[in-house]
Structure 1
Amino acid sequence: MADDRIGRASVFLASGTIVSRILGFVKTALLAAVIGASGAGANAFAAANQLPNTIYAVVAGGVLSAVLVPLIVRSAAHRDGGVAYINKIMTLGFVILAGAALIATLLTPLLTLLVGSRLRDGVFALAVAFGYWCLPQIFFYGMYSLLGEVLNAKRVFGPFTWVPVLNNVVALAGIGVFALIFGTDAEGTRPASEWDSGMIALLAGSATLGVAVQALVLFWFWRRAGLRYRPDFGWRGVGLRSTAGLAGWTFGMLLLTTIAGFVETSVVGVSAASPDEPSVAMQQNAWLIFMLPHSVITVSIATAYFTRMSEHAAVGDLRKVRDDLSSAVRGVGVILMVATAVLMVCAVLFARVFSPVEPLVWSTGAVILAYLVGLIPFSVLFIVQRTFYSLGDTKTPFFITLVQVVLTIAGSLACIALPSAWVAFGIAVVISFAGTVQAVVAIVLLRRRIGPLDGRRILVAFGRSAAALVLPVLVGLALLWALGGTSFDGFALSSVFGAIVSMAIIGAVMSAVYFAVLWMLRSPELRSFAEPLVARLRRS
């Protein structure tokens, strides 16, 4: 029954994430059609819009998921069910986030320099102007995470993954209004000097408004869940000293990854001068494709398991923690295998959606492929890290991340020696390699901490899924060739419509073949997710 509840929660989380990611993909494609995929406007907005996400991640992002959920789970044992504790933590979080957002906005030129040091003068100035509108997002991203993590800890999973749909709807509306008023520039030829204050305010302001709506709507779901927020500044006795110790290591870990991210963005910026080569905007688009299956599959499944892991860890039941880890990794792996294969086959088609420029399509497709090589280790690492967090251990993940950051920075700097057209590809390869090493180190250290991790069963599940992929991959490659996905004159690459239709056909057929083969192989992981759904459909 417990696995059934986890399965239902994961499916519900995934459904919201799928809708949100589809809209996010549409938003990115529409943005590329309106301001270009590479050029002054695209690179300036990409750099500025990256800042609030990066700074929020350092200030609070991972700290919330690493520290907040286990503490709220433990606070449920209090006489009031943890209500007073939650209000104190919420108030403290809002104060910290407001201060961080205010300071970051005042320091916009300096912060923009960190991600846009290689942008040309006019483009850099445009990025700073965008930054003043984008950086207040830090507060609203934090509010969304604080409110959402409390709901997750209370096993109210749906709102956290569904409200980002509103964010994308607002942003889409803003881009649409921008296109109606100021026209479109799919080739990205509009110079920075032609961007006026109205254009900047509309594009960046609507992006920030979307994030604000996403956060504020969660207050309504709090009430529906029986929670009421009342500001409480009485922080004495809330356990801030122990919490600070846990959060400090996570803060350090996020600071390390942010430094690595700044280095990556700065190095990629070397090719930003050419519209035919991957630059900051196109690297972010490639990363968006990479994150699509991770967000839909891994985060949805791991979020549901994380709350249960924290409950088991709170009572010292390491056997059940290991069972949760094994079940989560196997559940993620069985679905992530086919998602990775589909994205690899369709990599160039995804790139075509973002740009009509042929050299840029091929090079961006290569970047997507390089990222995807590290997708499964990246997702396994996500689950392993949350296992450490459920145990109240944020120190070990810090040192694990330190290994990854050293490799990433060294590799990224080495990529400067590559031809500019290959810089983004080289960095993607470095990130995949460093992430894989990080995942291996994390698994070894977790095994030392809690004992055997059901490795044989996990390897059998992954091997079964890999065997089931052989036929779908062959079918997918045949469809790619038949639909003209190997030539820019073919149907699949001749237009955005052709690329989207071809991806839908290839993805649907490959998935159907994969799950059919896996079902015949009697995969217990597939059946544990599918059988409750099949039973419900039969009852309906």
Structure 2
Amino acid sequence: MSAQQAGLGRASVLLASGTMVSRVLGFVKTAVLAAAIGQSASRAADSFALANQLPNNIYALIAGGLLSAVLVPQIVRAATQDDDGGQRFINKIVTLGTIVFAAVGLVGTLLAPLLVRIYAQQAGSTGQGGYTSDAIALATAFAYWCLPQIFFYAMYSLLSEVLNARQVFGPFTWAPVINNVVAIAGLVVFMVLFGGSAENSVVDVWTPGRITLLAGTASLGVLAQAGFLLLFWRRAGLSFRPDFRWRGVGLGATGKAAGWLFGMVLVTQLAGLVQSRVASEGSGTGASNAVLANSWLLFMLPHGIVAVSIATAYFTRMSGHASRGDLRAVRTDLSQSLRTIGMFMVFATVAMCVVAYPFASFFESTFTGASQMAQVILGFMPGLVLFSVLFVVQRVFFALHDQRTPFFMQIVQSGIFVVGTLISSAVVPDELIAVAIAITTSVAGSAQTIVALVLVKRRLGGIDGRWVLRRYLQFAFFSLVAGAVGLVVVTALGGFTPDGFAHSGRIAGILTVVVAGLVMAAVYLGLLALIRLPELTDLTAPVIRRARPLAARLLRR
């Protein structure tokens, strides 16, 4: 194994460890939130889900694509070409970003009533198939507290991308842990003071105190997440000074690249707007915005822990190769990252399908509610592998300073999604609309990834396609074997029956997931180790090297 591969392995493990803790705590936060205000058929939960998603939508529209895809290549380039190692460029970018993001956060908060009405489908005269007027009023009250998160999310992303470009990866993944701890603490206090879902799922019980505590602590967590990164600024060799002279350091190139990304994110958010309004049709009757949001979080759990961690480590190196015009090295990085990510994501897809029902029971108190959520999870899961592949392929184009191609790739996805969602709205019953949206998401995302693979192959002159495909087929075979074993475990624990152990309570549900997951992971990793898979060795070698001295010290004691 080369020194570069070892470095990437260590970076990936560091990123994955922080992300894993963060995702697990995020999972706990979501479960506690469901226990506090309900989920399926809870109008209060749908109102909060809508309001708490608004800052993410606005942030993504204004800054998300720019920060994640444009700044890292620009900072890497400035570090190699500028006499100050990119410090001047970073000062100007951070100064400009702070001003812009503060203004956007303020305007977004003032427009809370308008934004809620844009994203929420109004219920009909019968009160079914959408948000009632009281639910919209509650969502608006939540939104006033949640929308300042726009500024906090943007600053977190801006600061973390600067640190990532300087190869200081740890704070980026560990900062969300603080966010989740603050939010969970707020939810625990909320439940102590105001009770659980039985008391809080209806709209008319919500007082200013309830609203402030729930939404206010959610925003406080995001603030703490952003502030944490400032502690590591000097470790990256940086000393910030506000700089309002924004000409002459390449901001024009950044703005040009951001134009295409803004278009890509705009198309994505328009599709998200359609999703939010169509999903609102299920509010009060079954799976709606809250179930979709939480199911998506479970879908993103393996992606965030594995794909984002590995791709982030590779992205900085690919940006360096691309700046030197070394396409062969970029192609090698793409092949390695796809094979490493696939090793986990193929298994995760099978495993999540097997444990979908008991997993859902951790969020729902009834088998009916768990079944509704499980069906949404199963609708999302077929697109997981290609979703993670797309994440890596997009970063190849970003490393090559090509934001135009991802824009047109996104049009393919959003076009298919919008058409499919609107058709679903016309023909699918309200109680199944969330499932239809999840399936449509999988189909549209898979189509986008296929287009992306064709385009990146042309751009790089190849992607080691046969080798990657061979590995994915191996992963699929071993995953199905492990999944069959896991299916036996889940069935034995009553994962598919209303009166089974897995659905006797939230703790029983998560225990079923843990037991089945460990069994499946043991089978899968055992099979990979049996064939001595190089990708597994490359990733685990840094961990084993660090663990051996620790084990030796423990044995000597």
TM-score normalised by length of structure 1: 0.98
SS at match of 2:233: helix
Q: 2:214 maps to which residue? A: 203
Q: 1:386 maps to which residue? A: 395
Q: Which amino acid letter does the alignment assign opposite residue 85 of structure 2?
A: G
1:330-365: CA deviation from partner (whole Å, max 9, x where unpaired): 010001122222111111112111111322211210
Give structure 2 stretches of 5+ with no counterpart: 123-130, 551-557
SS at match of 1:211: helix
Q: 2:246 maps to which residue? A: 235
1:336-355 pair list within 5 angstroms: 336-355=345-364
Matched, 1:398 2:407: yes
Q: CA deviation at 1:537?
A: 2.4
Q: 1:375 maps to which residue? A: 384
Q: Which amino acid letter does the alignment assign opposite residue 148 of structure 2?
A: P
Q: 2:77 maps to which residue? A: 74
Give the one of 133, 141, 156 matched to 1:121.
Answer: 133
Q: 1:6 maps to which residue? A: 8
How far apart, CA to CA, are the structure 1 residues paired with 2:221 and 2:204? 27
Q: CA deviation at 1:240?
A: 2.1
Indicate conservation of the 8 Å contact 2:119/2:277, yes or no.
yes
Q: CA deviation at 1:223?
A: 2.2
Say which is worse superposed, 448-457 or 131-140, in terms of deviation: 448-457
Q: 2:517 maps to which residue? A: 507
How far apart, CA to CA, are the structure 2 residues paired with 1:471 and 1:464? 11
How far apart, CA to CA, are the structure 1 residues paired with 2:239 and 2:46? 42
Give the one of 251, 265, 274 matched to 1:254.
Answer: 265
Q: Which amino acid letter does the alignment assign opposite residue 439 of structure 1?
A: T
How far apart, CA to CA, are the structure 1 residues paired with 2:466 and 2:412? 26
Q: 1:460 maps to which residue? A: 470
Q: CA deviation at 1:40?
A: 2.3
Indicate conservation of the 8 Å contact 1:461/1:523, yes or no.
no
SS at match of 1:373: helix
1:240-295: CA deviation from partner (whole Å, max 9, x where unpaired): 22211100000110010111011111111101022xx1011011111011000110
Q: 1:434 maps to which residue? A: 444
Give structure 1 stretches of 5+ with no counterpart: none
Give the one of 43, 48, 54 matched to 2:46.
Answer: 43
1:207-241: CA deviation from partner (whole Å, max 9, x where unpaired): 00000010011111112333121111010112222
Q: CA deviation at 1:410?
A: 0.4
How far apart, CA to CA, are the structure 2 residues paired with 1:396 and 1:117? 33
Give the one of 308, 311, 318 matched to 1:299.
Answer: 308
Q: CA deviation at 1:186?
A: 4.3
Matched, 1:142 2:150: no
SS at match of 1:233: coil
How far apart, CA to CA, are the structure 1 residues paired with 2:367 and 2:496? 12
Matched, 1:446 2:456: yes
1:265-276 pair list within 5 angstroms: 265-274=276-285
Say which is worse superposed, 164-173 or 38-47, in terms of deviation: 38-47
Give the one of 204, 214, 221 matched to 2:225.
Answer: 214
Q: 1:33 maps to which residue? A: 35
1:73-98: CA deviation from partner (whole Å, max 9, x where unpaired): 00012111111110001111111111
Q: Which amino acid letter does the alignment assign opposite residue 14 of structure 2?
A: F
Give the one of 511, 535, 539 matched to 2:545.
Answer: 535
SS at match of 2:238: coil
| Cα distance, 1:401–1:484 mapped onto 2, change above 3 Å | same
Indicate conservation of the 8 Å contact 2:282/2:432, yes or no.
no
Give the one of 135, 154, 159 matched to 2:166.
Answer: 154
Indicate conservation of the 8 Å contact 1:37/1:187, yes or no.
no
How far apart, CA to CA, are the structure 2 residues paired with 1:129 and 1:246? 36
How far apart, CA to CA, are the structure 2 residues paired with 1:182 and 1:238? 54
Q: CA deviation at 1:197?
A: 0.9
How far apart, CA to CA, are the structure 1 residues paired with 2:537 and 2:385? 21
Q: 2:204 maps to which residue? A: 193
How far apart, CA to CA, are the structure 2 residues paired with 1:534 and 1:139? 40
Q: 1:312 maps to which residue? A: 321
How far apart, CA to CA, are the structure 2 residues paired with 1:238 and 1:15? 36
Q: Which amino acid letter does the alignment assign opposite residue 392 of structure 2?
A: I
| Cα distance, 1:453–1:187 mapped onto 2, change above 3 Å | farther
1:190-211: CA deviation from partner (whole Å, max 9, x where unpaired): 3x22211111111101000000
Q: 1:175 maps to which residue? A: 187
Matched, 1:226 2:237: yes
Q: 2:61 maps to which residue? A: 58
Matched, 1:471 2:481: yes
How far apart, CA to CA, are the structure 1 residues paired with 2:163 and 2:223? 18
SS at match of 1:4: helix
How far apart, CA to CA, are the structure 2 residues paired with 1:402 and 1:93? 27
1:393-436: CA deviation from partner (whole Å, max 9, x where unpaired): 00000001001111000000011120112111111111100000
TM-score normalised by length of structure 2: 0.95
Q: 2:553 maps to which residue? A: none
How far apart, CA to CA, are the structure 2 residues paired with 1:117 and 1:239? 43
How far apart, CA to CA, are the structure 2 residues paired with 1:185 and 1:396? 46
Q: Which amino acid letter does the alignment assign opposite residue 110 of structure 1?
A: L
Matched, 1:525 2:535: yes
Q: 1:91 maps to which residue? A: 95
Q: Which amino acid letter does the alignment assign opposite residue 139 of structure 1?
A: F
Give the one of 401, 421, 429 matched to 1:412.
Answer: 421
The root-mean-square deviation of aligned C-alpha atoms, in Å, is 1.1
Q: 2:112 maps to which residue? A: 108
Aligned length: 537
How far apart, CA to CA, are the structure 2 residues paired with 1:176 and 1:117? 31
How far apart, CA to CA, are the structure 1 residues paired with 2:158 and 2:71? 8
Q: 2:126 maps to which residue? A: none
1:380-402: CA deviation from partner (whole Å, max 9, x where unpaired): 00000000000000000000100
SS at match of 2:63: helix
Q: CA deviation at 1:187?
A: 7.6
Indicate conservation of the 8 Å contact 1:40/1:188, yes or no.
no
Q: Which amino acid letter does the alignment assign opposite residue 415 of structure 1?
A: S
Indicate conservation of the 8 Å contact 2:331/2:463, yes or no.
yes
SS at match of 2:387: helix
How many percent identity over aligned positions? 51
Indicate conservation of the 8 Å contact 2:146/2:216, yes or no.
yes
Q: Which amino acid letter does the alignment assign opposite residue 226 of structure 2?
A: A
SS at match of 1:111: helix
How far apart, CA to CA, are the structure 2 residues paired with 1:532 and 1:165? 23
How far apart, CA to CA, are the structure 1 residues paired with 2:205 and 2:537? 57
After the TM superposition, which parts of structure 1 deviate over 6 Å for at least 4 consecutive aligned residues? none
Indicate conservation of the 8 Å contact 1:64/1:146, yes or no.
yes
Q: Which amino acid letter does the alignment assign opposite residue 326 of structure 1?
A: S
Indicate conservation of the 8 Å contact 2:350/2:480, yes or no.
no
Q: CA deviation at 1:534?
A: 2.3
